[in-house]
Amino acid sequence: MAAKLNFFPLGNADTLRIDLADGQKVLVDYAAMRNGEIGDKRCDLPEELRRDLNRAGRDYYDVVCITHTDTDHCKGFGDFFWLRHAGKYQGEGRIKINELWVPAAAILEDGLTDDARIVRSEARHRLRDGKGIRVFSRPERLKKWMQDEGIDFESRKHLIVDAGRTVPGYDKTGPEQVEFFVHCPFGWRQNENTVIERNEDSIVLHATFVEGGQESRLFLASDVNYETVSEIVQVTRHHGNEDRLLWDIMKLPHHCSYLALAPDRGAEETKPEPDVKWLFEDQREAGAVIVSPSNPIPAKGSEADQGVQPPHRQAANYHRRITNADDGEFRVTMEHPSQTNPKPFAYNVTALGIALDVAAPMVSSSAAASTPKAG
């Protein structure tokens, strides 16, 4: 089977399910945002995920990655998953997690509440237990926390993955046919900062898929801002790993916020900082796809257009322009579902590149698109 990337319409919130070539299922973030009110076009995430798992004959995910603990990335975590740290999260019908991926910040941050606190409790429990966990980056304060908790760091360091490394257990030549490269968080920056910056200390991944001998690349940018994107570009280029910044499909950072491009919004279009511009314009493959996990882009002069929250029209104008110039696609998750059919959409990894799954329930045949490789 070929890998598939499944995006869910959840408002300004993130969930992506990656179905791998060997049948593994990787869930990146979980945000059950639908409230059931009339007119709510956000999908029923628990229902959609359970339907897929039932079809696959399983009650677990191989991996659940919580990129950071903002509500729009973990809402409903404690209601949906079977968790190891407390019996009240182990009822019938809950979905199990073989391996939980979290940034170091999710373990270290104090003052968390609700689902963020539940994520932290589960991650800490698994780290103490020494299994079923991957922690991304190892700042000195993580070592200090482990020491204070009586956890032997040396016996757990194989569970920690630093930026600039690949995630163990995934190989382009293996049956899974994918490799995950870690761009963020940076342990050194967490050592410099006295306060955890949740968005900037989140997990940023670059996935390389292989199908029919052809490589396709997915960039998952979490909620980082332009400064962190610039640091990712500079560090990666310094180490001669520019190929780790090539992309066929980009999950935009922070719901199409202008702050993921530059400090200034601009009147009609955000002008990206130089390193960000290089990533978006020079590293995109022909026909590349940008997915904005966000509310619809506001119309000029509308109330939403005047607000501070993303999505920002000026950022979207930039992304649309460079996408149109490259014969690509700019797709906003909440611009597609209807009130009666708020379903996810998917892209298939094919031997010709990334292609929109025309069998997805909310996509008509006239909307089909693909991004075949040049040459």
Ordered by start, the domain boundaries in the chain are 4-372
Can you give the pLDDT at residue 374?
A: 41
Please name the residues in contact with 33: beta carbons below 8 A apart, sequence gap of 6 or more: 10, 11, 13, 42, 45, 72, 75
Burial class (CB within 10 angstroms; exposed 0-12, middle 13-18, buried 19+) of 29: buried
Can you give the pLDDT at residue 358?
A: 83
d(CA 118, CA 120) in angstroms, rounded, equals: 5
pTM, entire model: 0.93
Q: How many CA atoms lie within 13 A of 136 on its CB side?
A: 28
Which residue bears the tokens 């299994």? Answer: 131
Q: Spelled out in words, what is the top-level CATH class assigned to the domain 4-372?
A: alpha beta
d(CA 185, CA 164) in angstroms, rounded, equals: 10
Can you give the pLDDT at residue 164?
A: 94
Can you give the pLDDT at residue 363?
A: 40
Can you give the pLDDT at residue 372?
A: 46
Omega into 311 within 30° of 0, i.e. cis? yes
Can you give the pLDDT at residue 18?
A: 98
pLDDT per residue, tens digit, the chain (375 aa), is 899 999 999 999 999 999 999 999 999 999 999 998 888 899 999 999 999 999 999 999 999 999 999 999 999 999 999 999 999 999 999 999 999 999 999 999 999 999 999 999 999 999 999 999 999 998 888 999 999 999 999 999 999 999 999 999 999 999 999 999 999 998 655 555 655 566 778 999 999 999 999 999 999 999 999 999 999 999 999 999 999 999 999 999 999 999 999 999 999 999 999 999 999 999 999 999 999 999 999 999 999 999 899 999 999 999 999 999 999 999 999 997 655 667 899 999 999 999 999 875 544 333 334 444 544
Neighbours of 52 (CB within 10 A): 15
With vertex at residue 9, the alpha carbon angle to CA 6 and CA 12, rounded to the nearest 5 degrees, is: 120
Can you give the pLDDT at residue 133?
A: 98
Joined tokens for residue 96: 């199990």
